[in-house]
Amino acid sequence: MSERAAAAAPTPNVTRTDPMQPAPWRVVRTEPETHDAFKLTLAPVEAGPPFTFEAGQFNMLFAPGVGEAALSMSGCSGTVDRVVHTIRAAGRVTKTLRTLKRGDVLGLRGPFGKPWPVGLAEGRDVLLVAGGIGLAPLRPALCHMLEHRERFGRVNLLYGARSPQDILFAKEIETWRGRFDVSVEVTVDRAGADWHGRVGVVTTLVPRAQFDPANTVAFICGPEIMMHFTQRELERHGVPDESVWVSMERNMKCGVGFCGHCQFGPLFVCKDGPVFRYDRVAPLLGIREV
């Protein structure tokens, strides 16, 4: 990406390889996803080297004049000519990104971070456990598994949202449900009388999934407390810590491991993560305010 950024710079000098320089990307499509989440589809403004990313990686998206935010990609991974982000409008930058229209240009640098180890899941049963907007970074992993379905054992998606109105990818979830080769379970924390699905925390879905605990890989993404309790539930079902992976979230400024903001004990979430094997972060997750 930095090469592309440098190509845009009129006076090339020392910053040629500066990882802090975003490249211009154009919004080719915007879609509301829920009442507070939306989807942005982006294409590079300039011709450049192909954009390749792996499931679970993130970009720094730059709203000129407002700022940058670290956001996971939700589109299918690989070498792509479009980058898809599903974003919850939570802060200043993401709220600005929501106002963008087709044709607008924003800045993008990335991809950054360690991805979900989808290769390790081959030949094994899979549990994808998502809480809230945490489904977005897991979508590329599911996408990859459905594309190469024969390589994986039983694939389970367990998804918990706050309310029926907060369910991401609602249409796609229906499509996945229609497939016989993936099991999809959804629950919400609270719902009105018009909700006929499950109510309860996402951990209550674990007993409904079919997996061989000794030969399973679990990817979890959601609030820290949700990941913690999901891991406990998996442990109860016999899934060892070494088979569990979580994706962490921290405030990030540089994305490449030197601004210091995302430090999580000795780890930098941006470059050592955001995806970590559970046993690596377990001691830290147990400490208040690491």
Partner 1 sequence: MGTPSAGQIHRLGRDQLASWVDALLGERKRVFAPVLRRGLRVLRAVERAQDVDFAPGRTRWSPKEFLFPRTETLFSYENRDGVPVLADPPADDVPRILFGVQPCDAAGLVRLDSILLQDPFYARRRELTTVVAIACSEAAPECFCTAVGGSPAGQEGVDVLLAPLETGWVVRALSPKGEALLAPRRGGWETAAAGDWEAALEQAGRVAGSIGRRELPAAWAEKLEQSFADPIWDELARRCVGCSICAYVCPSCSCFDVADEGSDACGSRCRTWDSCSFRLFTQHGSGHNPRATQPARSRQRVLHKFAFYPLQHGGRAMCVGCGRCIRSCPVGMDIHAEVVEVMSGRPEKEAGDVQR
The residues of the shown chain that bind partner 1, judged by CB under 8 A, are: 5, 8-18, 20-22, 24, 45, 62, 64-69, 90-94, 103-105, 107, 224, 228, 249-251, 253-254, 256, 258-261, 263, 265-266, 285-290
Bridge partners of 283, per DSSP, are: none
**Min dist. Cβ of residue 89 to partner 1 (A):** 10
Distance CA 117, CA 42 (A): 25
**Min dist. Cβ of residue 153 to partner 1 (A):** 30
Q: For partner 1, which is the closer residue by CB, 60 or 218?
A: 60
Q: For partner 1, which is the closer residue by CB, 57 or 94?
A: 94
Query: How, if at all, do strands 267-268 and 198-199 pair?
Result: unpaired
Residue 162: count of CB within 10 angstroms of its CB: 14
Q: For partner 1, which is the closer residue by CB, 66 or 146?
A: 66
Burial class (CB in 10 A: 0-12, 13-18, 19+), 219: buried
Q: For partner 1, which is the closer residue by CB, 8 or 214?
A: 8
Distance CA 153, CA 166 (A): 29
Distance CA 269, CA 81 (A): 27
**Min dist. Cβ of residue 116 to partner 1 (A):** 22
**Min dist. Cβ of residue 160 to partner 1 (A):** 18
**Min dist. Cβ of residue 162 to partner 1 (A):** 14
Distance CA 144, CA 77 (A): 7
Q: Residue 264: helix, strand or coil by DSSP?
A: strand
**Min dist. Cβ of residue 283 to partner 1 (A):** 8
Q: For partner 1, which is the closer residue by CB, 45 or 201?
A: 45
Q: For partner 1, which is the closer residue by CB, 18 or 147?
A: 18
Closest to 271 in 3D by CA, of 244, 243, 250: 250
